[in-house]
Amino acid sequence: MPTITQQQIKEHGLSGDEYKRILELMGREPSLVELGIFSVMWSEHCSYKSTRFHLRRLPTKAPWVIQGPGENAGVIDIGDGDACIFKMESHNHPSFIEPYQGAATGVGGIMRNVFTMGARPIAMMNALRFGEPDHPKTRHLVEGVVRGIGGYGNCMGVPTVGGEVNFHRSYNGNILVNAMCVGLARTDKIFKSAAEGAGNPVVYIGSKTGRDGIHGATMASAEFDDASEEKRPTVQVGDPFTEKLLLEACLELMATDAIIAIQDMGAAGLTSSSAEMGDKGGSGIELDLDHVPQRETNMTAYEMMLSESQERMLAVLKPGREKEAEAIFRKWELDFAVIGHTTDTNRLVVRHKGETVADMPITALSDAAPVYERPYDRRAASVGVPQYDAKKPLLDSLARILGSPDMCSRRWIWEQYDYTVMADTVQRPGGDAAVVRVHNAKKGLAITTDVTPRYCKADPFEGAKQAVAEAYRNISAVGALPLAVTDNLNFGNPQKPEIMGEIVGAVDGIAEACRALDFPVIGGNCSLYNETNGEGIDPTPAIGGVGLMADVNRMATVAFKREDDVLMLIGDTRGRLGQSIYLREIEGREEGAAPPVDLAAEKKHGSFVRKLIEDGRVDTCHDLSDGGLLVALAEMALAGGIGAEAGVAGTTVDAIAFFFGEDQARYVIATPLDEANRIEQELRDAGIVHAIIGKTHAAKTLRIEGEGEVALSELRKAHEGWFPAYMAVAHEN
């Protein structure tokens, strides 16, 4: 038996205490294979050891929630026997190392999470964060990530319908690539991962196993390739063609009743899928690695258990159904092998070449995995009202903001994604939320991803509330009822109390907002240690939200539709410029208090607007977020090709603050005059602060009282110009 050295323990990312705990649980020294299994199962990624304690505070229940966190993806009931299954996940580190493959495999991974539960994926979203545009790596990363997302999603034939992108120096050394997948299933046909019962066959399906993604450090012994002496790369390459076949084959198998449990092989592949299925089913699992389909020769047990080769699934079948399942996978020309069976021992037993290479209690990998209540320090939130030059010409600033990296059109990105395949995309990228119709039905799903990291940096609690509120608003603004969220918590090193404080603050903020808005969390993902040279990223708790639209024929979009529509601003405008886009882009500072979020107002205003759209009274609506009112008006004008005029409507707020402040819980709607009059009365009755601020007009200009006007063509040039011009410059890889 090998003796485990201090060096090996360290290379496996285990602390001294953790190793002691392993010795206790095992009652002996682990083998190298067992050590590897512990190392991946107890990693932050698989065990959530730093966040699990806090995540318990998130609200996860509602009458429409069928499955909350804990399975491969969350499930909600959307009526008529239909279920919506969705999840968001990060692929940050791999995308920094190799942007194309990192992003592509991120998309593939999240799709498997969704279709392993029986859903056909119907829409993809992505939330991206890159370093500052001038950083030498940024272009290459943007180019590769976008191409990778498109390369995988387009081939799968699933529309990529939206997302968000920010550039900020805090991501120079750690970009964020968060991908979200939304799928549809029938409520009585949802597949889970609990491998209940003993003596059932465990089958391996999909691609062959290679030495992909096995962490370099732990592989020092076998790492060199004899022929070239080159170090084996640990990057995984995606194969969307195989994934498409895997999707169709799995759905075909799922139409039978042969499956007891099924789970995709994601991080820590064979190890985590088998351990989790056994754990959830309260059974044991015995694997014989000799039967694992292998792409390379002489693979060790260690390599096979830790490989992260893509496009693979593990399933437990009802006994006797193997032939039937095999026929399906052969038809789709995929590998299929019975590689083990379930037992009643509650142990994970792994055999290879006639030897038992691992034999461990499954609970040691799940329940007994460490949970840390790490010390945290919630530093004081940034406060204050920032100074600014009140004389700067408003419309010049608008053009500059519309042409800035964070605010310009993302067309360069979304045109590389097939957003119309599946013929159900009723609201395309460019609006507040994307809307995809439920196939063969009248209803649709509204989808958005949101977070404003600069608010979260200034105040993790309010910032996280804001992320949830903005997702709620984006869904309401198209006319859908927000139903549930998935989160993706991207942070720095949790072993630093101030970072842990950001995490705790953000979790509390999400919890409070989701509770107040009836918007439960049904899934999520944590990506910690996003740090380079001791510099962490800005806290980035991305929120992916999904809502239900009863009738996609009654949907609002941001585009102005008619001349002489009245512009109504709903919500209170104080002109808060703290942490605003205006302050950063025009004054060059990120300071002051992040805008506070009044959740009661969010709910009230959102419900009001939604009702107007549902009743078919309003078809033009935009929520206000980054850049405030004037940016929203410009986006509405550009989207519709119709101009408008507006003023401060008798308020005492200074024009710059009025037009660029980022107060929350606000929407702009545009309707013909008589409807506007009725709506105004209803707003008054409901006690909702509002103002008529102007109207759309015949000229193709945006005119602001006392500031003059600017041609839409000029704004469009600024808005559409930045991305293509930026990406046109030659860059190194």
Partner 1 sequence: MKSAVVVFPASNCDRDAAVALQSLTGKKPHMVWHQESHLPEVDLVVLPGGFSYGDYLRCGAMASQSAVMRAVKAHADKGGAVLGICNGFQVLTETHMLPGALMRNADLKFVCRPVALEIEETQSLFTRKYEKGQRVHFPVAHGEGNYFADEETLDRLEGENRVVFRYADGDNPNGSARNIAGILNERRNVMALMPHPERVVDPLLGGTDGVGLFQSLIETLS
Partner 2 sequence: MKARVFVTLKNGVLDPQGKAIGHALNGLGFGAVGEVRQGKVIDIDLAESDAAKAKASLKDMCEKLLANTVIEKYEIELKA
Q: Is 425 in the site for partner 1 (CB under 8 A)?
A: yes
Scanning residues 426 to 465, which ones bind partner 1 (CB under 8 A)? Answer: 426, 428, 437
Write the CA distances from 114 to 164, 415, 523, 640, integer angstroms.
Answer: 21, 25, 11, 35
Q: Is 229 in the site for partner 2 (CB under 8 A)?
A: no
The entry of partner 1, Mg ion, ligand ADP, none near residue 450 (CB within 5 to 8 angstroms by kind) is ligand ADP
Sign for the pseudo-dihedral over CA of 636, 637, 638, 639? positive
Residue carrying the six token digits 């007891």: 260
Rounded to an integer, what distance in angstroms lies between the CA atom of residue 640 and that of residue 448?
A: 21
Nearer to Mg ion among residue 33 and residue 558 (C-beta) = 558
| Least distance (Å) between residue 623 CB and Mg ion | 4
Rounded (10°) CA dihedral 410, 411, 413, 415: 160
Q: Is 565 in the site for partner 2 (CB under 8 A)?
A: no
The entry of ligand ADP, partner 1, partner 2, none near residue 296 (CB within 5 to 8 angstroms by kind) is partner 2
Rounded to an integer, what distance in angstroms lies between the CA atom of residue 73 and that of residue 192?
A: 10
The entry of Mg ion, partner 1, partner 2, none near residue 421 (CB within 5 to 8 angstroms by kind) is partner 1
Scanning residues 102 to 161, which ones bind ligand ADP (CB under 6 A)? Answer: 126, 128
Scanning residues 274 to 303, which ones bind partner 2 (CB under 8 A)? Answer: 295-296
Of 276, 279, 459, 626, which one interacts with ligand ADP (CB under 6 A)? 626
Q: Is 332 in the site for partner 1 (CB under 8 A)?
A: yes
| Least distance (Å) between residue 687 CB and Mg ion | 24
Q: Is 417 in the site for partner 1 (CB under 8 A)?
A: yes
> Considering only CA atoms, which of 371, 373, 181, 368 is closest in space to residue 275?
368
Number of Cβ atoms within 10 Å of the Cβ of 580: 31
Q: Are strands 201-206 and 259-264 parallel, antiparallel or unpaired?
A: unpaired
381 and 589 Cβ atoms separated by less than 8 Å? no
The entry of partner 1, partner 2, ligand ADP, none near residue 97 (CB within 5 to 8 angstroms by kind) is partner 2
Q: Which of 45, 54, 605, 690 is catalytic?
A: 45
Applying CB under 5 A, the span of 272-280, 402-410, 424-432, 567-575 interacting with Mg ion comes to 424-432
Of 553, 607, 681, 733, which one interacts with partner 1 (CB under 8 A)? 553
**Would you say how long the chain is, in residues?**
733
Full DSSP string of 589-658: ---SPPPP--HHHHHHHHHHHHHHHHTTS--BEEE--TTHHHHHHHHHHHHHT-EEEE--TT--S-HHHH
Q: Is 733 in the site for partner 2 (CB under 8 A)?
A: yes
Q: Is 164 in the site for Mg ion (CB under 5 A)?
A: no
The entry of Mg ion, partner 1, partner 2, none near residue 25 (CB within 5 to 8 angstroms by kind) is none
Rounded (10°) CA dihedral 70, 176, 625, 429: -90
Residues whose CB is less than 8 angstroms from the CB of residue 27 and which lie 6 or more positions away in sequence, other chains included:
none
Scanning residues 227 to 286, which ones bind ligand ADP (CB under 6 A)? Answer: none
Active site residue 341: no
| Least distance (Å) between residue 416 CB and partner 1 | 5
Residue carrying the six token digits 């409507």: 649
**How far does CA 158 lie from the centroid of its chain?**
16
Residues whose CB is less than 8 angstroms from the CB of residue 266 and which lie 6 or more positions away in sequence, other chains included:
109, 112, 113, 272, 273, 308
> What does residue 686 show for φ and ψ, rounded to 5 degrees?
-80, -5
Q: Which of 12, 54, 91, 168 is catalytic?
A: 91
The entry of partner 2, ligand ADP, partner 1, none near residue 148 (CB within 5 to 8 angstroms by kind) is none
* Exposed e or buried b per residue across 492-529, where buried means at least 16 C-beta atoms within 10 angstroms of its C-beta: bebebeebbbbbbbbbbbbbbbbbbbbbbbbbbbbbbb
The entry of Mg ion, ligand ADP, partner 1, none near residue 93 (CB within 5 to 8 angstroms by kind) is none
| Least distance (Å) between residue 334 CB and partner 1 | 10
Applying CB under 5 A, the span of 322-330, 474-482, 596-604, 711-719 interacting with Mg ion comes to 474-482
Applying CB under 8 A, the span of 154-162, 350-358, 464-472, 684-692 interacting with partner 1 comes to 154-162
301 and 191 Cβ atoms separated by less than 8 Å? no
The site map against partner 1 for 233-272 (x = CB under 8 A) is: ------xxxx-xx---------------------------
| Least distance (Å) between residue 274 CB and ligand ADP | 35
Of 34, 82, 212, 585, which one interacts with partner 2 (CB under 8 A)? 212
Q: Is 453 in the site for ligand ADP (CB under 6 A)?
A: no
Rounded to an integer, what distance in angstroms lies between the CA atom of residue 597 and that of residue 207?
A: 48
Of 57, 70, 97, 319, which one interacts with partner 2 (CB under 8 A)? 97
Rounded to an integer, what distance in angstroms lies between the CA atom of residue 517 and that of residue 601?
A: 10
Q: Which residues pair with 82 in a beta bridge?
A: 186
The entry of Mg ion, partner 2, ligand ADP, none near residue 438 (CB within 5 to 8 angstroms by kind) is none
481 and 512 Cβ atoms separated by less than 8 Å? no
| Least distance (Å) between residue 157 CB and partner 2 | 17
Burial of residue 229 (number of CB atoms within 10 Å: 0-12, 13-18, 19+): exposed
Of 217, 235, 441, 639, which one interacts with partner 2 (CB under 8 A)? 235
598 and 705 Cβ atoms separated by less than 8 Å? no
The site map against partner 2 for 98-127 (x = CB under 8 A) is: x-xx--------------------------
Rounded to an integer, what distance in angstroms lies between the CA atom of residue 361 and that of residue 349?
A: 9
Helix, strand, coil shares, percent, the chain, to 5: 35, 25, 40
Scanning residues 39 to 78, which ones bind Mg ion (CB under 5 A)? Answer: none
**How far does CA 294 lie from the centroid of its chain?**
32
Full DSSP string of 274-320: HHHHHHHHT-EEEEEGGGS-BSSSS--HHHHHH---SSEEEEEE-TT
Active site residue 91: yes
Q: Is 430 in the site for ligand ADP (CB under 6 A)?
A: yes
Sign for the pseudo-dihedral over CA of 86, 89, 94, 100? positive
The residue whose Cβ lies closest to ligand ADP is: 162
Of 378, 410, 604, 703, which one interacts with ligand ADP (CB under 6 A)? 410
| Least distance (Å) between residue 410 CB and partner 1 | 13
- Chain residues binding partner 1 by CB under 8 A are 147, 150-151, 154-157, 239-242, 244-245, 332-333, 414-426, 428, 437, 552-553
What are the residues binding partner 2 (CB under 8 A)?
Answer: 97-98, 100-101, 207, 210-212, 225, 227-228, 230, 232-233, 235-239, 241-242, 295-296, 309-310, 333, 729-733
Q: Which residues form the catalytic set?
A: 45, 91
Q: Which residues bind ligand ADP (CB under 6 A)?
A: 126, 128, 162-165, 410, 413-414, 429-432, 450, 474, 625-626
